Each structure stands twice: as C-alpha cells, then as structure tokens.
Amino acid sequence: SATGIIRRQPDVLLHRRPDDITALVALQARLLDALWPVLRPGGVLLYSTCSILRQENQQQVARFLARTPDARIERCRKASAMQWMAPASACRASTAVTVSSMRGW
C-alpha cells in the first residue's frame, strides 16, 4: 500500500482508496501462500512491506502462521546469507519478519 512512505511521498494518500487495502492484503496472502510450497525445507522467507498498517503486517503474518503449521517466526538476522536481499534497516523495521520452514526437520 506504500503507507510507510507517506512522509516522503504524500501523494500516496491521493492514490489510495479503502478498497485498495483489502485487495492488497488479499494479494499479499496469495503471494505468501504461493511462495511457501517452493521454499526449500529449512529455508527462510523474508516478508517485508512498505506499510504501517497492521492488516498488512502483524495481522498478515499471524494469519499466515495460523494457516501454515510448518512455519515459525524467527528474529531477523542482520548478518546472514540473506543480507544481500534485505538491508540491515529492514531488520530494524517492524514490517520485516523472517519465517522459517520446519519441513523436513
């Protein structure tokens, strides 16, 4: 939804409607569900958004964990193999969540 960048790009408010959020939350859920089966056993999925909305962040992750029994939440590791994908600042953001696969363990 880009609500996390409103301070720097206030025109986001002009382009977003309430219905957009519902559609984006559904799209994010479909993306998570589609990516999870192709993640290797023991793999890590980094979920990060440019949003300050709970339904795109905490609630989205909670719903994903509820419907994905072989997933668990981890602390975001700053010094890891995935550092090239996510800057250290992403690990400090409340919108960055690392979810690990427990399949095959």
77: number of Cβ within 10 Å: 14
Locus of tokens 């962040």: 57
Specify the pTM: 0.72
What phi, psi does 101 have (nearest 5°)?
-85, 135
Question: Is pLDDT above 70 for 28?
Answer: yes
The pLDDT of residue 78 is: 54
Residue 105 binned pLDDT confidence (cut-offs 50, 70, 90): very low
- Selecting among 44, 50, 53, 65, the annotated active-site residue is 50
Question: Is pLDDT above 50 for 79?
Answer: no
Question: Is pLDDT above 50 for 15?
Answer: yes
Token pair listed for 2: 């880009």
- Average pLDDT of the segment spanning 87-102: 51
76 has catalytic annotation = no
98: number of Cβ within 10 Å: 20
25: number of Cβ within 10 Å: 18
- Average pLDDT of the segment spanning 5-19: 83
Give residues with Cβ within 8 angstroms of 19, minimum separation 6: none
DSSP 99: E
Q: What angle do CA 70, 74, 77 make, to 5 degrees?
A: 135
Residue 101 binned pLDDT confidence (cut-offs 50, 70, 90): low
Greater confidence, 8 or 78? 8
75: number of Cβ within 10 Å: 8
